[in-house]
């Protein structure tokens, strides 16, 4: 057995270059039309990345999804399985016309070869394939209704058999075998594929980002070349993308009358031919489209059963790019737009709650509702979800991470597809809305998959719930993943931390004193509390009482600060804050707060957590958040470039200040997502830091 080459030291995952769309010959109107169409046609878009020549023209994620969080891509996984076979053929460890049974050490009475598996031409019918399941021995032993090589039927067991061949030949899991050959050269980070009986599924189960899909599609479109390096053999890519199988009779997604059906154009080695080029294709709309004639790729994750409608939207976009290319439109960046000017994650356009309301429950899909409960709780609700646990719900997306131990009821048995004991987590986000008819609508999204549950509490209190699109192969259990899938990585020269709401929970004191202040001045306390967070007190007072003399406001704020400093009862540390500060002890970091130094010292001491050596407080700035002055001052004191620093903030004002400083922002807490930070986490327990070996910080976000 030939050992795999050792991976070199993990390569830095250098980003794809971001360029102005106009400079890449992509019209602004076409991008806007595509983004709008995906949302308006209720196709439930999650993430989208468009690249040309390997450069990114546009990327966005629709809340609560994130561009940097891998998600289940279902059968798009199959293409990676085919590539693994290609590497084995290159290394002369197998031939495509070898007997599959010979390679697996199993009987092969019907002469099924590796190529038959790659092209899904084993000769089995759909009914036979369903009965076979993920069992290579049974696949080879079952007599096909047609001669192998003469009949196509969509065949995930064949893909799983290919993964089993990779492991049988190499002694490695398929993705471990691919790591030094494909994943590292493409810059694809640590990822996860689920397994069946210890063999990676091969047919599904890979969790990838749209960036990962783009890197793969760019390489395939360039004949195996990525950034000047031949990553995969051109002969195999050429064979892989031919229409080996006739799929004209395939019973796939329905096309409109007179429309070309994209599932009737042929099948290669685990890729589909398209009306333009070819594609990686996963259930419910997980796509990587390769359009070689335009040097264009589209990577997408969404959730719809009408996947032909999703492709229809993409082809309209491709046609517009083609027309612009033929017309030779000037690639003048000054007349174009930058991706940041288009809808981006967190902006109102991508987070189209109105389009989410049009998504419906699939009533025929099985859903465990025994024990379901939706209760009013303060300014939101609490949802008890069977098989999952208890989730907080508000009118903004609220993230939650739940392990199997949190489940309200344990399943009687685990599906075989979830054979990895480390696959314990569900990473969810919930959002609710009180509707005018008295009902409540709640969406619970699994952010590592295409799936969501819709819960409706009618005005009379009755509940109904179900999947928008059910997971393949089971319910919540098949969606559980290990922590590597929910983990996000970043590097920073320094971490700049807010205090109240980020490290310290002082809301009881703040709300009590500001509520009384509002009542004393005839102001609605709810309005006061909606604007004060992140701001210095005197600025908040000036906004609320703009006609009052400044000297009166300053004096009154001094009195309020004294009261806040003296009243520390109920001030506690935010979960994980102490551990985060201890981890940062020898790393560059600073506190940036709108509180005075005395107030900051009092609250940090009351919470029992360490005060950073560098602190920018109210005395050190002229303007408070949302002005970026405080964060810029902290960066100067630490001697780092603003763009290399990362802010940790909970309030909309603080998040706006960090972004205005040109910094990336980790939004912390249930309301942070609405302000559009770079990342969101539920609390400080989800932030892990270590020395990056180069004087900076390596962050891991759960």
Active site amino acids:
498, 500
Identify any residues that bridge with 52 across adjacent strands, giving them in sequence order.
55, 296
Strands 589-592 and 494-497: parallel
Q: How many other C-beta atoms lie within 10 A of the C-beta of residue 109?
A: 10
Q: How many other C-beta atoms lie within 10 A of the C-beta of residue 289?
A: 27
| Residue found under tokens 């932030």 | 687
- Helix (H) / strand (E) element for 492: namely strand 488-492
Identify any residues that bridge with 207 across adjacent strands, giving them in sequence order.
72, 192
Q: What does the block give as tokens for 575? A: 């979960």
Q: What does the block give as tokens for 245? A: 């199988």
Is the peptide bond between 626 and the residue preceding it cis, with omega within 30 degrees of 0? yes
Closest CA to 449 of 418, 422, 485, 423: 485
Contact by Cβ (8 Å): 367, 454: no
CA–CA distance, 298 with 313 (Å, rounded to integer): 12
Q: Please provide the DSSP assignment of 224-282 as one string.
A: TEETTEE-S-HHHHHHHTS--B--TT---SPPPTTPPPTTSS-B-SS-EE-SSSEEEEE
Cα–Cα separations (whole angstroms), residue 622 to 216, 606, 653: 49, 27, 16
What radius of gyration do the chain's Cα atoms show? 27
| Residue found under tokens 């646990």 | 389
CA–CA distance, 350 with 358 (Å, rounded to integer): 15
CA–CA distance, 255 with 237 (Å, rounded to integer): 28
Which three-class secondary structure state does DSSP give residue 570? Answer: coil
Strands 440-446 and 425-434: antiparallel
Closest CA to 268 of 48, 86, 52: 86
């Amino acid at each position: 057995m030939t050992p795999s080459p050792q991976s070199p030291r993990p390569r830095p995952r250098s980003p794809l270059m971001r360029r102005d769309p106009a400079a890449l010959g992509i019209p602004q109107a076409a991008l806007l039309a595509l983004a709008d169409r995906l949302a308006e046609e209720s196709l439930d878009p999650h993430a989208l990345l468009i690249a040309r020549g390997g450069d990114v023209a546009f990327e966005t994620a629709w809340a609560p999804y994130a561009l940097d969080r891998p998600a289940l891509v279902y059968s798009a996984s199959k293409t990676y399985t085919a590539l693994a076979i290609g590497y084995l053929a290159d290394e002369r460890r197998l031939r495509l016309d070898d007997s599959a049974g010979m390679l697996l050490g199993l009987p092969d009475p019907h002469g099924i070869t590796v190529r038959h598996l790659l092209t899904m031409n084993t000769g089995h019918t759909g009914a036979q394939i369903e009965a076979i399941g993920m069992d290579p021995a049974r696949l080879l032993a079952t007599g096909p209704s047609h001669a192998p090589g003469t009949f196509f039927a969509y065949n995930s067991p064949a893909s799983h058999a290919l993964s089993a061949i990779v492991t049988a030949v190499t002694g490695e899991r398929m993705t471990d075998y691919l790591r030094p050959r494909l994943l590292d050269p493409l810059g694809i980070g640590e990822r996860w594929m689920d397994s069946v009986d210890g063999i990676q599924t091969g047919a599904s189960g890979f969790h990838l980002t749209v960036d990962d899909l783009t890197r793969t599609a760019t390489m395939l479109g360039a004949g195996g070349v990525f950034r000047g390096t031949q990553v995969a053999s051109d002969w195999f890519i050429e064979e892989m993308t031919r229409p080996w199988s006739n799929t004209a009779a395939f019973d796939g997604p329905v096309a409109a009358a007179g429309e070309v059906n994209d599932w009737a154009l042929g099948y290669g080695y685990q890729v589909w031919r398209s009306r333009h080029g070819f594609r990686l294709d996963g259930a419910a709309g997980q796509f990587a489209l390769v359009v070689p004639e335009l040097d264009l790729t589209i990577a997408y994750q969404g959730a719809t059963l009408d996947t032909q409608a999703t492709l229809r939207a993409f082809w309209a976009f491709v046609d517009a790019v083609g027309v612009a290319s033929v017309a030779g439109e000037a690639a003048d960046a000054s007349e174009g737009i930058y991706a940041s000017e288009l809808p981006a994650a967190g902006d109102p356009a991508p987070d189209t709650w109105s389009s989410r309301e049009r998504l419906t429950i699939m009533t025929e899909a099985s859903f465990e509702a025994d024990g379901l409960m939706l209760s009013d709780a303060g300014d939101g609700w609490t949802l008890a979800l069977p098989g999952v646990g208890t989730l907080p719900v508000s009118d903004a997306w609220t993230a939650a991470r739940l392990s199997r131990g949190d489940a309200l009821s344990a399943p009687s048995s685990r599906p075989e597809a979830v054979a990895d004991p480390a696959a314990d987590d569900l990473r969810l986000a919930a959002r609710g809305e009180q509707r005018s008819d008295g009902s409540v609508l709640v969406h619970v999204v699994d952010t590592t998959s295409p799936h969501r549950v819709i819960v409706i509490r009618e005005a009379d209190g009755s509940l109904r719930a179900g999947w928008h699109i059910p997971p393949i192969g089971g319910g919540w259990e098949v969606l559980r993943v290990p922590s590597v899938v929910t983990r996000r990585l970043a590097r920073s020269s320094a971490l700049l931390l807010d205090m109240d709401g980020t490290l310290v929970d002082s809301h009881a004191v703040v709300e009590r004193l500001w509520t009384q202040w509002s009542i004393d001045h005839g102001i609605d306390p709810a309005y006061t509390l909606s604007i004060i967070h992140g701001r210095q007190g005197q600025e908040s007072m000036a906004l609320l009482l703009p006609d009052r003399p400044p000297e009166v406001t300053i004096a009154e704020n001094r009195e309020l600060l004294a009261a806040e400093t003296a009243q520390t009862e109920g001030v506690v540390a935010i979960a994980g804050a102490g551990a985060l500060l201890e981890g940062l002890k020898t790393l560059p970091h600073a506190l940036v707060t709108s509180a005075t130094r005395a107030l900051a010292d009092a609250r940090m001491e009351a919470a029992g957590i360490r005060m950073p050596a560098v602190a920018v407080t109210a005395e050190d700035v002229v303007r408070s958040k949302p002005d970026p002055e405080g964060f810029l001052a902290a960066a100067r004191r630490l001697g780092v470039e603003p763009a290399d620093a990362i802010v940790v903030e909970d309030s909309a004002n603080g998040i706006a200040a960090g972004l205005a400083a040109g910094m990336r922002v980790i939004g912390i807490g249930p309301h942070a997502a609405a302000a559009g930070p770079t990342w969101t986490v539920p609390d400080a327990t989800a932030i892990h830091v270590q020395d990056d070996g180069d004087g900076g910080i390596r962050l891991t976000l759960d």
